């Protein structure tokens, strides 16, 4: 049957997130998937139910429920001093769909997108799906995985169309400075590029308040902002995201969205509007909880032999470097899984700059974090 498959889809690899080990190991602890373990706030769940009882069970506007777009507009203004009209917002099926829609709309075949590595694993594949070419820029552990705008500029050529920026960053947990973001924005203006900002961990910035790059671009000429309720509101299963962009882009993106899924489920959109309206109640406890977990995991990692780790600045991911003589990273990950029953992801899944690292998604409670590291530190590979 492969003869019917388009060439670019013939050799796809199994997802790094798809294997479930819980049936193999009854005491399994999963540091692999970035799915927060906490349940969505009850007022959001109640609004989902109430909206359906009230009869909101029909198609919504493909661009998105106006009430949700209005709440997003208010939040951008109040939280980031960004003025965006509801007409400049598209509601999407998650931040992942948002990224694909953007790439599909802006890329002509063969155009290039600069992607800092380590990166969220879907970026290069989505660029290729949209007939573009990913150009990988490798950040360095020694520089705390920060971006050097001068190095980015060296990669820009006549085929360059966009740059993807994700801060706070998955998988490294790094947070780019305002200075860096401003310099990237100036590059976008200088070379007439689009910066696609994957702004989905906005509340999880532990040492500085998050400021989106789109705040430097009041007319939305060079910057697009993706938001999502998956992480900031622990609503991963609701698949609710949004794009803020120039009206012309929103119009084209709505066309792609409408012809793919038509509209986001109404139940999710009404629930999302309630969540954003009550974000000052819902989000601060999440910030505090995951910050504590991150620092606990960081403290436990620092005590392990053969491990180098940066103090986490954002998200709920830690990206330690593990160097054990005579072992590959795959072998280390396998040893931890089979002997400690703890799942980690090889950093190579996040691009060439992830070689030699592992990603830890600190999405389990503090008791499980301690239990996981109690098991790991007993392994012979960390005693030598």
Residue 319 CA to residue 303 CA, distance in Å, equals 15
Mean pLDDT on 126-149: 97
Place of tokens 């998937």: 33
Six token digits for residue 194 = 């689009």
Residue 92 dihedral angles phi and psi, to the nearest 5°: -125, 165
Is the backbone of residue 239 left (phi > 0), alpha (psi -120 to 50) or beta? left
Q: Which two structure tokens, joined as six digits, stand for 277?
A: 């309206």
- Could you tell me the pLDDT band of residue 23, with boundaries at 50, 70 and 90? confident
What residues contact 351, with CB distance under 8 A and at least 6 apart? 115, 117, 118, 119, 124, 136, 138
Point out which residues pair with 117 in neighbouring strands.
138
**Residue 142 pLDDT exceeds 80:** yes
Q: What is the pLDDT of residues 68-95, one digit of tens each?
A: 999 999 999 999 999 999 999 999 999 9
In this prediction, residue 262 carries a pLDDT of: 97
- H/E/C letters for each residue in 60-124? CCCCCCHHHHHHHHHHHHHHHCCCCCHHHEEEECHHHHHHHHHHHHHCCCCCEEEEEECCCCCHH
Percent of the chain with pLDDT over 90: 92
Instruction: Provide the token pair at 51.
Output: 């909206």
Q: How confident is the model at residue 287, as a pLDDT? A: 97
CA dist 118 and 146 (Å) reads: 10
- Whether the pLDDT of residue 162 is over 70: the answer is yes
Sheet containing strand 223-228, strands side by side: 89-92, 241-244, 223-228, 194-198, 160-165, 112-117, 133-138
Instruction: For 193-211, write each residue's pLDDT tens digit.
Output: 999 999 999 999 999 999 9
**Could you identify the residue written with the tokens 């505090």?**
288
- Is the link from the previous residue into 54 a cis peptide, with omega within 30 of 0? no
According to DSSP, the β-strands at 358-361 and 317-318 are antiparallel
Please give the share of the chain, as a percent, with pLDDT higher than 70. 99
Q: Taking the alpha carbons of 275, 278, 282, 288 in that order, is the dihedral positive or negative?
A: positive
pLDDT, residue 16, reads 67
Q: Work out whether the CA dihedral 146, 285, 47, 86 comes out positive or negative.
A: negative
Which helix (H) or strand (E) element contains residue 227? strand 223-228
pLDDT tier for residue 383 given thresholds of 50, 70 and 90: confident
For the cut 80, the answer to whether the pLDDT of residue 27 exceeds it is yes
25 against 124, higher pLDDT: 124
Task: Supply the pLDDT for residue 18.
Answer: 61
Question: CA-CA distances (angstroms) from residue 109 to 5, 106, 114, 116, 251?
Answer: 19, 10, 15, 21, 21
For Cα atoms 78, 101, 60, give the angle at the middle one, nearest 5 degrees: 65
Residue 255 has pLDDT above 70, yes or no: yes
Higher pLDDT, 33 or 145: 145
Q: With bands split at pLDDT 50, 70 and 90, how would you rate the model's confidence at 20?
A: confident
What is residue 272's predicted lDDT score, i.e. its pLDDT? 98
The answer, yes or no, to whether residue 65 has pLDDT greater than 70, is yes
To 10 degrees, the CA torsion angle through 14, 17, 18, 22? 140
Predicted TM-score (pTM) of this structure: 0.95
Q: Is the dihedral of CA 115, 98, 209, 37 positive or negative?
A: negative
Instruction: Give me the pLDDT at residue 10, please.
Output: 75
Number of residues that make up the chain: 384
The pLDDT score that the predictor gives to residue 112 is 98
- Does 17 have pLDDT greater than 70? no
């Amino acid at each position: 049957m492969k003869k019917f498959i388009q060439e670019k889809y013939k050799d796809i690899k199994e997802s790094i997130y798809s294997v479930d080990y819980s049936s193999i190991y009854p005491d399994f602890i999963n540091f692999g998937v970035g799915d927060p373990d906490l349940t969505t706030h009850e007022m959001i769940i109640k609004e989902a139910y109430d909206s359906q009882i009230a009869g909101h069970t029909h198609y919504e506007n493909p661009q998105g429920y106006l009430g949700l777009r209005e709440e997003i507009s208010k939040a951008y203004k109040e939280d980031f001093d960004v003025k965006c009209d509801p007409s400049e917002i598209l509601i999407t099926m998650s931040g992942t769909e948002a990224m694909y829609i953007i790439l599909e709309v802006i890329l002509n075949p063969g155009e290039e997108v600069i992607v800092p590595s380590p990166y969220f694993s879907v970026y290069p594949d989505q660029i290729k799906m949209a007939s573009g070419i990913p150009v990988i820029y490798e950040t360095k552990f020694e520089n705390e995985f920060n971006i050097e705008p001068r190095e980015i500029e060296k990669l820009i050529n006549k085929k360059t169309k966009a740059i993807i920026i994700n801060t706070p960053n998955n998988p490294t947990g790094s947070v780019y400075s305002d200075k860096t973001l401003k310099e990237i924005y100036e590059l976008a203006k200088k070379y007439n590029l689009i910066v696609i900002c994957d702004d989905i961990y906005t509340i999880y910035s532990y040492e500085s308040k998050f400021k989106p790059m789109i705040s430097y671009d009041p007319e939305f000429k060079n910057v697009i902002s993706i938001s999502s309720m998956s992480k900031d509101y622990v609503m991963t299963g609701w698949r609710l995201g949004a794009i803020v962009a120039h009206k012309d882009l929103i119009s084209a993106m709505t066309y792609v969205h409408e012809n793919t899924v038509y509209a986001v489920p109404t139940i999710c959109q009404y629930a999302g509007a309630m969540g954003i309206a009550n974000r000052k109640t819902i989000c601060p406890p999440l910030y505090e909880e995951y910050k504590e977990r991150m620092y606990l995991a960081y403290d436990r990692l620092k005590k392990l032999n053969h491990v180098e780790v940066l103090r986490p600045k954002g998200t709920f991911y830690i990206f330690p470097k593990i160097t054990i003589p005579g072992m590959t990273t795959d072998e280390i990950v396998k040893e931890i899984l089979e002997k400690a029953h703890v799942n980690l992801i090889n950093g190579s899944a996040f691009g060439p700059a992830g070689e030699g690292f592992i990603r830890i998604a600190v999405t389990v409670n503090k008791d499980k974090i301690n239990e996981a590291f109690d098991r790991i530190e007993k392994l012979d590979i960390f005693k030598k």
